[in-house]
Amino acid sequence: MKLQIVSILLLSFSLSISAQTNREINDKLNNLAMELQSLKQQQAGPTVNFGGYGEIVYTKTEKGEEESDSSTPEFDNKRFILFVGYDFSSKWRLVSEIEVEHANEIYIEQGYIDYLHSDTFSVQFGTFLLPVGILNLVHEPTTFLGVQRSQSETRIIPSTWRENGIQTLLQKDGQSFYAYATSGLKATADFNSSGIRKGRQKASKTNAQDLALGVRYDYTFKNNSILGFSYYSAAMTYADGEAPAQHTIYDIHYGGQIKAIQFKFMWVISNLTDTDKLNTSLGLSSDVVAEQMEGSYFELGYDLNYGNSKSQIIPFIRYEDINTQRQVSEIFEADDAQDETYLTFGVNYKPLSNIVFKIDYTQSKNEAKSGANIWNTGVGWNF
């Protein structure tokens, strides 16, 4: 009997200890769960992101086809950009870039609120880069092989091109689709036969009388190369009481890297209606804006160190054909100097993926026999 009583007491004591131990374990697990939840909330909460990129370029232009003199060499701190981002939460963030050009011109390159509705859908409100061509969206000097950007993406697509507006982005299964409404280019007397680049308003007190609309679609293949197209359309008011000119840009682009080979191709065409009235209104009788501009280029590079080293040595070639006077109104005369080809040879050296040293040589020719030969060297970085 005594043994049974002792056994019952020991069993009760054991159960009591076991229950107490289980409560402690449960309490500890609950505390750990609360701490993990707190950490997740902290990670999804406000965070600051910082980055930037820049490039310094030396250029020397030699005599061309029928030119007798070389120009004065130029050494330019071309771009210095600082990026600051702020994640308010897992859904809302700020994206901003402050740009200093030529060491003394300060601009806002980007500044928008990004609403991340899901992993596939987001909306941007503010100042952002238009999704046109290749370089306008991704133009850090470590991402393209030439010292200078392509002419087609400088004069026809006026990179770097940013506007104020709203944009949606849908990404899923290697596909991305942009749709946007923004301010557009502004007609100015600074337009000329080389293009309408000077119509960029750079997001500063933009004339928003006429909105621009655009779309872009990209498809990423299994080898990570990207094929896509974009379309931009905007009315361009140039005088009170006058019907606005209609401006459209189309482009097709393809690029990527397959093992040691890097490549890019782009074709772009720009159309502008009512150029008779536009040029007359702007006071242009010669050196006029064309009805149609067209450009294309192909760039090919090969990494000699591929698979053997973290550093890269990439010789490359780029061929470009551009004509900003592709079609001119019958009442004006086309400028043959704008019907050009550019052949560039060069090499990139990357000691690290985000630092690049470049040198290249460009031969340019045009129908007016006034082309030039150009030496470029530069250093660039991004972080």
State how far the Cα of 34 lies from the Cα of 31, in Å rounded to an integer: 5
Q: What is the pLDDT of residue 210?
A: 82
Same domain, 110 and 38: no
More reliable by pLDDT, 37 or 126: 126
The average confidence (pLDDT) of the chain is 89
Q: What is the pLDDT of residue 357?
A: 98
Least Cα distance to 196 among 139, 240, 234, 143 occurs for 234
Q: Which of 22-36, 245-259, 296-310, 357-371 has the lowest mean pLDDT?
A: 22-36
Same domain, 7 and 83: no
If DSSP codes are grouped into helix, strand and coil, which group holds residue 150? coil
Residue 15, pLDDT above cutoff 60: no
Percent of the chain's residues with pLDDT above 90: 77
More reliable by pLDDT, 332 or 37: 332
Q: What is the pLDDT of residue 7?
A: 45
Same domain, 159 and 197: yes
Show which of 44, 61, 76 is a domain's final residue: 44
What is the mean predicted confidence (pLDDT) over 234-240? 79
Q: What is the pLDDT of residue 107?
A: 96
Q: What is the pLDDT of residue 13?
A: 38
What is the mean predicted confidence (pLDDT) over 110-119? 97
Q: What is the pLDDT of residue 32?
A: 62
Query: 180, 141 in Cβ contact below 8 A?
Result: no
Same domain, 269 and 368: yes
Same domain, 17 and 52: no
Query: 97, 86 in Cβ contact below 8 A?
Result: no
Please, which residues bridge with residue 245 across strands?
236
Same domain, 250 and 164: yes
Q: What is the pLDDT of residue 1?
A: 47
pLDDT tens digits, one per residue of 238-290 = 766 566 889 999 999 999 999 999 999 999 999 999 999 899 888 888 899 99
Half-sphere exposure of 207 (CA within 13 A, CB side): 16
State how far the Cα of 129 lies from the Cα of 121, in Å rounded to an integer: 18
For residue 83, give the CATH number of its domain: 2.40.160.10
Domain containing 32: what range? 1-44
What is the mean predicted confidence (pLDDT) over 352-358? 97
If DSSP codes are grouped into helix, strand and coil, which group holds residue 2? helix
Same domain, 25 and 114: no
More reliable by pLDDT, 83 or 20: 83
Same domain, 149 and 29: no
Percent of the chain's residues with pLDDT above 70: 85
Same domain, 289 and 324: yes
More reliable by pLDDT, 241 or 219: 219
Q: What is the pLDDT of residue 241?
A: 57
What is the mean predicted confidence (pLDDT) over 3-24? 44
Same domain, 25 and 131: no
Stated length of the chain: 383
Residue 22, pLDDT above cutoff 90: no
State how far the Cα of 124 lies from the Cα of 332, in Å rounded to an integer: 42
Same domain, 32 and 105: no
Same domain, 34 and 84: no
- Number of structural domains found in the chain: 2
